[in-house]
Every structure is written in structure tokens, then in C-alpha cells.
């Protein structure tokens, strides 16, 4: 390790920060795999099928088994799905299924991942803002921001608008 600083480096603080940074990097990479899982229908297929092998999931979704195997390993490592080493199957628990696979669930979260994706697509616009001091109009963002925002908030609106929010205005 080299440093241009004359101050000594606190190894404990350095290691703590490196763990945080690596965690953020891992989360960013895994977010893309969640997006891929949704776009390819992997979560929905798993929600319908119960425990599956990588071969079975690849066949159900018409995808390449080698990449499905890697995707499943990532999702299991991140706690999004469960791996059973006894029969080498992967399972999407019902708690994760309502969050990742059920578009009508009040806790469906896939829209938030689409919002994250939009931020990376607007990187050049953000750089220009920092360089010029100009703002960015809402309408100038990538369309994934609008679609993701709508998809993120829709479940809560559908689940609460008529049953809770409107009645609370009448009381």
C-alpha cells in the first residue's frame, strides 16, 4: 500500500472502509442481476415451480444453463433465493416471491431496480450538471426513471388508495 499522505493510515479504519466499498460494489453488481432475473422471467418461473436445478430453470425460461447457474449462485449468495446442497436445487421463498415476482403484491420492488438502472444511463447528464451548474429537468431523465418510479409506487397505490387513503380523507 502506498500513500501520498504524510499521515499514517489506520489499518482498522482502512479495512472497515474497504469492506463497505466492496459491499457497495457487490450490491451494484447484484442489482443488475436482479434486473436480469426480472426481465428474463426467472423469479416468476421459480415462484411457479418450487425448487429447481439450473437445468430445469434454463429449460423453463428458454435461457442458457451456464449463465442461469451463475445467476442462481449469485442470488443464493445474496439471500434472494435458497440453495439446497442435498439435491442441488434452488428455491424462491414466498417472502421473496411477493417482493420479486408478484407484480400485484403491495411490496413488489422491481421498479426500484429500474430506477437504479436509469441513474447509470443519465451519468453524462449528471456530469454536465456538476461541470456547468445547470440543473436537469425531470423530463430529461432516461425513461427508465419514470417507468421504474411508476412501477415502484403502483403496488402501494393499488393496495391502499381505495381501501385506506380515500376513507381516511372522509373521517
Provide the sign of the torsion angle of the four alpha carbons 142, 144, 147, 148, taken in this order.
negative
**Given pLDDT bands bounded at 50, 70 and 90, which one contains residue 5?**
low
**Where does the pLDDT of residue 51 fall: very low under 50, low under 70, confident under 90, or very high at 90 and above?**
very high
d(CA 100, CA 88): 22
pLDDT range class, residue 106, cuts 50, 70, 90: confident
Measured between alpha carbons, how far is 86 from 88 in angstroms, rounded to an integer? 6
Longest CA–CA separation in the chain, Å = 66
Residue spans of the domains in the chain: they are 13-101, 103-159
Q: What phi and psi values does residue 125 have, to the nearest 5 degrees?
A: -65, -40
CATH-assigned architecture of domain 13-101: Orthogonal Bundle (1.10)
- Considering the entire predicted model, what is its pTM? 0.82
Is residue 4 over pLDDT 70?
Answer: no
Output 169 or 138, whichever has higher pLDDT.
138
Amino acid at each position: 500500500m502506498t500513500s501520498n499522505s504524510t499521515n499514517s493510515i489506520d489499518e482498522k479504519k482502512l479495512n472497515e472502509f474497504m469492506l463497505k466499498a466492496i459491499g457497495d460494489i457487490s450490491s451494484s453488481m447484484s442489482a443488475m442481476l436482479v434486473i436480469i432475473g426480472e426481465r428474463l422471467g426467472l423469479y416468476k418461473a421459480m415462484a411457479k415451480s418450487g425448487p429447481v436445478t439450473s437445468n430445469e430453470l434454463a429449460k423453463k425460461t428458454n435461457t442458457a444453463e451456464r449463465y442461469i447457474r451463475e445467476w442462481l449462485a449469485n442470488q443464493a449468495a445474496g439471500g434472494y433465493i435458497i440453495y439446497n446442497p442435498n439435491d442441488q436445487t434452488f428455491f424462491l421463498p414466498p417472502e421473496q416471491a411477493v417482493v420479486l415476482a408478484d407484480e400485484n403484491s403491495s411490496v413488489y420492488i422491481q421498479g426500484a431496480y429500474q430506477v437504479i438502472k436509469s441513474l447509470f444511463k443519465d451519468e453524462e447528464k449528471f456530469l454536465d450538471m456538476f461541470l456547468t451548474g445547470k440543473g436537469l429537468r425531470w423530463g430529461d431523465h432516461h425513461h427508465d426513471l419514470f417507468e421504474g418510479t411508476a412501477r415502484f409506487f403502483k403496488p402501494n397505490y393499488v393496495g391502499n388508495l381505495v381501501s385506506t387513503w380515500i376513507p381516511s380523507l372522509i373521517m
